[in-house]
Amino acid sequence: MDAQVLYYVLAAILVVAGIVGTILPALPGLPLVFAGMLLAAWAGGFEQIGVATLAVLGVLTLLSLLIDFWATALGAKRVGASGKAIVGAIIGTFVGVFFGPVGLFAGPFLGALAGELLHGRDVGQAARVGFGTWLGIVFAIVLKLALAFAMLGLFAFAWFL
């Protein structure tokens, strides 16, 4: 197999893993997408994808990291989450991975709920905080997926232009 083809296959694997990583917390989603695109650009000798396109893709990748923290913190802050709730949501997200799609959605909520209960809040307030934190995480995922597809569109446009 030609080395260039191997690089393109590896680049595609990185991009797909990155898109999966926008949903799964264990993978660095958009940084993997960017790495795949950078590898593809390099494999093509930067003929189709130039420095300007890579710079824009890099900025979008950095923006995704900010969105991740901002949206999650915003959801938690709006409902008055304690630090324990935020830590609980993070732990719940990681544990949720082992329980499939249901765990991915329930884990952050249950983790934030448990954190608030440990903080001494009543069940109603803890559930409100859990839901707000969960909404922030879901909002972050939606925004990161939108960025991932915007990056793919920009990459494809630059490649075929």
Predicted confidence at residue 25, as pLDDT, reads 67
The CA distance from 36 to 43, in Å, is 10
Q: Which domain holds residue 39?
A: 3-160
The CA distance from 64 to 4, in Å, is 29
Q: Is the pLDDT of residue 161 over 70?
A: yes
Predicted confidence at residue 26, as pLDDT, reads 66
- DSSP 8-state assignment for residue 24: S
| Phi–psi pair at 79, nearest 5 degrees | -110, 10
pLDDT digits (tens, 9 = 90+) for 2-16: 999 999 999 999 999
pTM score of the predicted model: 0.79
Predicted confidence at residue 100, as pLDDT, reads 80
| Phi–psi pair at 95, nearest 5 degrees | -65, -35
Predicted confidence at residue 64, as pLDDT, reads 86
The CA distance from 14 to 27, in Å, is 11
Domains of the chain: total? 1
pLDDT digits (tens, 9 = 90+) for 93-146: 888 878 887 887 788 889 989 999 999 989 998 898 888 878 887 888 888 899
Predicted confidence at residue 31, as pLDDT, reads 94
pLDDT digits (tens, 9 = 90+) for 23-78: 876 678 899 999 999 999 999 999 999 999 999 999 999 988 888 777 767 777 77
